Structure 1
């Protein structure tokens, strides 16, 4: 696993044509944030901001995961979404 594969996956996800569920988007987002920034380092947003709260919770669930592991899972998830996209 290397930085190049991760960057290619980051570019590939923007090219997906098919629908991606909100749950899948949150999952990909959470591993992206963990891979690029490490553990969640911002305070939890208020419960009234539903979207921000969901994103924060998804990222925070990966607490303690190494950046390399997060990159590996991110790349695998993007590959899975690409396969679904092409049918």
Structure 2
């Protein structure tokens, strides 16, 4: 299985993460996913009052410069970690 196929598999598995997964971890996944699928941030940072979109933008921006392949690999690793933690609790 290639990296892209594995990434798509884990993107589907990420949707099965428990609802109590922290916002911090969900933002990490969001940022890695966007970097893997879109690349570097191309939009301006949302305004102060738009806290949700601003947090998502910041999470994506934190991965700026990372290659698509590296972002995919990091995403897969993070989803595996979160699934493992969920199965232990």
The answer for the alignment partner of 1:30 in structure 2 is 31
Q: 1:9, CA displacement in angstroms?
A: 0.4
Structure 1 residue 40 corresponds to structure 2 residue 41: yes
The answer for the alignment partner of 1:71 in structure 2 is 72
Structure 2 gaps of 5+ residues are none
TM-score by length of 2: 0.93
Q: 1:15, CA displacement in angstroms?
A: 1.3
TM-score by length of 1: 0.95
Is 1:18–1:85's contact at 8 Å kept on the other side of the alignment? no
Structure 1 gaps of 5+ residues are none
Q: Which stretches of structure 1, 4 residues or more, deviate above 4 A after TM superposition?
A: none
Q: Per-residue CA shift, 1:24-64, capped at 9, x if unaligned?
A: 00000000000000001111110110011111011011111
